[in-house]
């Protein structure tokens, strides 16, 4: 999947962003609070809508490409008054919101046309179906629609803030895969957590795993080896967790292996990002919020280089860190500003920034639109 453009409007929160165009690599830059994270969250909300979730007062338009076909999908949910203190996940779970309208085009041909009374699919009216689920979800098994659902499943929100497995979900998933044999392509195509993909690569594709390990050691020269095996030193774990392969790192001059829950956040996050880039399938969309979090300069250099070289995966990342902005060409920048509840993302060229990266960066940080990114109405 490749996302081309999105417009998103949350009527309940009176928040929206104007049409944003995305390329293979898009860096959303702007001061904290300007709306960068909300843009990523909106993309994730569309992923959830494609899988059957409903959101109060949300309206969207998105154009994207899957398997060389162009898609345009728009829709709108009703807006209802709900208790403002209920957290978002509970609101979605405990309240269902009707879809007021929905349209889907494939290569400029209308496939789905929906209003409050009926759903027309390829020119034919369908029997009465759930008013709370998107037609993309309801008709997800249809030949014309299944590529869309598969495409949205390839959107990943990359968040590796901790190295610990905090529940039994990952071990359960891994245990269910124990009897299967995996090629590299199998691993890349499967919709699995990246830690599990890395463990499968270690077990089934050691040569490819070595490429990931070597790239990691390029960043952390003190590391001499990585293994992904059950933790033999922890006898207090339940059986299913005890059999789960944890990441362990061996440093030069240190006898003991460093267990996964003792790996520094920067090292762990770097390994996960490198693994995602190598083990994600073609046409994956990876969203990374605050790219600089927990990363040292040496990590940023290597990861930025990998982002720029990879063109089989689309990256949409956010940052307000000067070092990152200055290390990514300005053709990839989207400068995000907000006026009240209206968020706008504009190309760097719209601000007539300098031709060299450094000159453009210096002009960017002195732009009033950048420094004063949040304005009242």
Tens digit of each residue's pLDDT (9 = 90 or more) over 159-206: 765 544 445 788 889 989 988 999 999 999 998 999 999 999 999 999
Domain total for the chain? 2
In a domain, 269, yes or no: yes
Q: pTM for this structure? A: 0.88
Considering the domain architecture, whether residues 78 and 6 belong to the same structural domain is answered as yes
Q: Alpha-carbon distance 22 to 196, whole Å?
A: 29
Residue 58 within a domain = yes
* Distance set, CA 217 to CA 90, 211, 236, 247, 249 (Å): 43, 10, 31, 14, 10
Q: Is residue 214 part of a domain?
A: yes
- Max mean pLDDT range (24-33, 84-93, 227-236): 24-33
Out of 237, 253, 279, pick the residue that ends a domain: 279
User: In terms of domains, do 82 and 128 share one?
Assistant: yes
Give the pLDDT confidence score for residue 319 in this predicted structure. 86
The answer to whether residue 86 sits within a structural domain is yes
Task: Check whether residue 210 and residue 69 sit in a common domain.
Answer: no
Claim to verify: residue 12 and residue 97 sit in the same structural domain: yes
Bin 270: left if φ > 0, else alpha if -120 < ψ < 50, else beta: alpha
The answer to whether residue 296 sits within a structural domain is no
Residue 91: what pLDDT?
Answer: 46
Residue ranges making up the domain that contains 89:
2-154+329-375
Residues 10 and 149 in one domain: yes
- Name the most confidently modeled range: 38-47, 298-307, 332-341, 361-370: 38-47
Residue entry with tokens 């300005």: 330
Measure the CA angle with vertex 299, ends 293 and 304; round to 5°: 90
Domain-embedded: residue 51: yes
- Structure confidence by residue, pLDDT tens digits, 304-315: 888 878 778 999
**Whose structure tokens read 């046409």?**
283
Task: Supply the pLDDT for residue 361.
Answer: 66
Q: What is the pLDDT of residue 355?
A: 65
Query: Which range, 139-153, 232-246, 288-302, is most confident?
Result: 139-153
Query: Which of 241, 258, 279 is the last residue before a domain boundary?
Result: 279
Examine residue 290 and state whether it is found in any structural domain, yes or no.
no
């Amino acid at each position: 999947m490749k996302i081309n453009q999105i417009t998103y409007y949350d009527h309940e929160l009176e928040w929206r962003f104007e049409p944003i165009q995305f390329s293979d690599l898009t860096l959303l830059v702007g001061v904290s609070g300007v709306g960068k994270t909300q843009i990523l969250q909106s993309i994730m909300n569309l992923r959830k809508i494609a899988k059957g979730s409903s959101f109060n007062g949300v309206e969207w338009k998105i154009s994207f490409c899957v398997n060389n076909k162009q898609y345009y999908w728009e829709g709108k949910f009703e807006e209802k008054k709900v208790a403002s203190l209920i957290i978002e996940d509970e609101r979605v779970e405990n309240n269902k919101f009707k879809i007021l309208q929905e349209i889907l085009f494939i290569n400029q041909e209308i496939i789905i046309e929906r209003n409050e009374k009926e759903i027309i699919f390829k020119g034919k009216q369908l029997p009465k179906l759930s008013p709370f689920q998107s037609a993309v979800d309801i008709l997800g098994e249809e030949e014309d629609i299944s590529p869309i659902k598969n495409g949205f499943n390839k959107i990943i929100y990359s968040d590796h803030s901790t190295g610990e497995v905090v529940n039994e979900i990952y071990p359960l998933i891994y245990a269910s895969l124990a009897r299967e044999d995996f090629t590299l392509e199998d691993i890349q195509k499967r919709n699995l957590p990246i830690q599990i993909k890395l463990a499968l690569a270690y077990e089934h594709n050691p040569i490819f795993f070595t490429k990931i390990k070597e790239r990691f050691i390029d960043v952390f020269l003190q590391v001499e080896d990585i293994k992904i095996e059950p933790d033999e030193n922890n006898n207090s774990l339940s059986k299913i967790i005890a059999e789960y392969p944890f990441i362990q790192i061996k440093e030069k001059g240190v006898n003991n292996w460093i267990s996964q829950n003792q790996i520094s956040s920067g090292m762990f996050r770097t390994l996960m990002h490198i693994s995602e880039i190598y083990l994600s399938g073609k046409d994956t969309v990876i969203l990374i919020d605050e790219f600089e979090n927990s990363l040292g300069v040496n990590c940023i250099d290597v990861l930025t280089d990998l982002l720029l070289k990879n063109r089989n995966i689309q990256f949409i990342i956010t940052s307000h860190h000067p070092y990152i902005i200055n290390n990514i060409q300005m053709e990839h920048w989207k400068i995000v500003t907000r006026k009240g509840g209206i968020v706008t993302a504009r190309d760097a060229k719209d601000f007539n920034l300098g031709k060299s990266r450094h000159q453009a960066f210096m002009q960017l940080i002195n732009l009033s639109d950048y420094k004063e990114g949040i304005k009242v109405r």
